[in-house]
Structure 1
């Protein structure tokens, strides 16, 4: 048997090690385990489990950086902050590997790739995906891509891509088009009306997809409210009640730290109990820093944040306060 030491006392890059041999069992990000030790990845790399120490896995470089051909260096992306990926594509890209900055491969939403490997804003307003700056493939949420034709004073027609707005409170209208909303694409608290736009649910309701605007779906009143009929979410009158669909004065589910009685009221759980399924001393889940034993909550070890697995007076691995040591044996 040997004790598990967390951080304090372990070698650099190690977060869990044996107190007997010093062998590391778990390394920090940016390190890889080699023969019981933690060796650093390439500079700027967060993951090298496959590539090994001093190297970097594909997509393992930090934000705004890409992996050079050699696999041993993370270099800045030429596309800057708007570049999504710039890992060197293959061994043939030797120039990429030797460059100070790697050409961007894909850009972030709202930007397109230039021939020089940089990222520039899409020319079509509200476009989220433009393979080249002038051509839009998809619009930002709440907008739909359409072609618009305009005619100038000389009767010359021009057709252009444009991203038009959907109905208010709508995230997508690819099927029904601009000014409308696709089924089940209204924001929370709204539902699709017969005219194809999003209308509000009843007050204190979070979802009315089935029942329609002005109503509320069963089980979707906000906490401390209950559904009466098909439309009204009424505040619960029972103290500490979370759901009261039967009636405002009769509780169906209680708030955290309270148990439901057969009469439909809420009574407090025992001290240090987070969730109790029965009224009285029987607890199902304890508050932080307490462990469960035969339906009751007792304190964990000193300076311990959680002992749900090991039980009262002990401490779960990884749950000591910062920079302290767990003496759990394995």
Structure 2
């Protein structure tokens, strides 16, 4: 099967046809996944971050937007600071990015008020903001539920003790995830720290000599926990 035929077969499997009456889709517009079934020189489905305009060309969505309608296109920049995805209008956000809370009624993005908060939310009834996730390196603490829906708001005031720790749980000395090249090693039932991976080509490890993920230039040997370098890299 030729590459184009294989590509069209894959599109058929997901419910999108790129061919009409045996004619191959020309994909003439760039960033196109599937062409218009009536006119194969026009695109009907574009890659993420692009949308077909009136001419059938794939135009980029507004900045920080991964999905948009043809009405949005690339003619205007996003009017909502902090917006990650806008599907209906450049003035109404569907999902806000890290560090912002999404108001699903107004489509506005409000910056997280709590210090060191990466993900926050606004209470549907009161509008009061709460935090649902911390920035890397900070301990999430859950006090009593503080919003009308009963969800617990997180505080991120305490920094993880290990400088290479990206996520600690229950205690600042209990590291659950480490930076690239390090692995979390349990010291006691309630504490763990990051140790440098000693295996050549290792990206993350369970201890200093057992690798769980290798660098792109290496392949993991799951039996020995070592990394084997790929030829030519």
TM-score normalized by the length of structure 2:
0.51
Over 3 Å counting, the alpha-carbon distance change for 1:64 and 1:216 in structure 2 is closer
- Asked if 1:199 is matched to 2:199, the reply is no
Matches within 5 A, 1:40-51: none
Structure with bigger strand share is 2
Instruction: Say whether the 8 Å CA contact 1:191–1:198 is kept in structure 2.
Output: yes
Instruction: Say whether the 8 Å CA contact 2:122–2:130 is kept in structure 1.
Output: no
Instruction: Say whether the 8 Å CA contact 1:200–1:214 is kept in structure 2.
Output: no
Paired residue total: 180
- Asked if 1:281 is matched to 2:215, the reply is no
RCO higher in structure (CA 8 A, sep ≥6): 1
Q: Distance in 2 between matches of 1:168 and 1:293?
A: 45
- Asked if 1:187 is matched to 2:116, the reply is no
Matches within 5 A, 1:200-279: 200-201=111-112, 202-209=114-121, 215-217=130-132, 220-229=133-142, 230-262=154-186, 263-272=191-200, 273-277=202-206, 279=207
SS in 2 for 1:284: strand
How big is the alpha-carbon RMSD for the aligned residues of Structure 1 and Structure 2? Answer: 5.0
Q: Considering only CA atoms, is the larger Rg found in Structure 1 or Structure 2?
A: 1
Instruction: In structure 2, list runs of 5 or more residues that go unmatched.
Output: 7-17, 45-49, 58-67, 143-153
Over 3 Å counting, the alpha-carbon distance change for 1:239 and 1:188 in structure 2 is closer
SS in 2 for 1:209: strand
Instruction: Say whether the 8 Å CA contact 1:257–1:275 is kept in structure 2.
Output: yes
Q: Distance in 1 between matches of 2:27 and 2:87?
A: 36
Q: Distance in 2 between matches of 1:189 and 1:294?
A: 41
Could you tell me which residue of structure 2 aligns to residue 121 of structure 1?
none
Q: Distance in 1 between matches of 2:53 and 2:171?
A: 53
How far is the alpha carbon of 1:243 from its aligned partner? Answer: 0.3
How far is the alpha carbon of 1:282 from its aligned partner? Answer: 2.6
Over 3 Å counting, the alpha-carbon distance change for 1:248 and 1:57 in structure 2 is same
2:224 aligned to which of 285, 292, 295: 295
Q: Distance in 2 between matches of 1:245 and 1:31?
A: 50
How far is the alpha carbon of 1:227 from its aligned partner? Answer: 2.0
How far is the alpha carbon of 1:244 from its aligned partner? Answer: 1.6
Q: Distance in 1 between matches of 2:219 and 2:31?
A: 43
TM-score normalized by the length of structure 1:
0.39
Instruction: In structure 1, list runs of 5 or more residues that go unmatched.
Output: 1-25, 33-46, 66-83, 91-101, 119-126, 130-137, 144-164, 306-330
- For residues 145-195 of structure 1, what are the alpha-carbon distances to aligned partners after superposition, in whole Å with 9 as ceiling and x for unaligned? xxxxxxxxxxxxxxxxxxxx8765455596xx997x57x633332114699
Matches within 5 A, 1:129-140: 129=70, 138-139=71-72
- For residues 171-221 of structure 1, what are the alpha-carbon distances to aligned partners after superposition, in whole Å with 9 as ceiling and x for unaligned? 5596xx997x57x6333321146994432123433311377765421xx32
Instruction: Say whether the 8 Å CA contact 1:246–1:252 is kept in structure 2.
Output: no
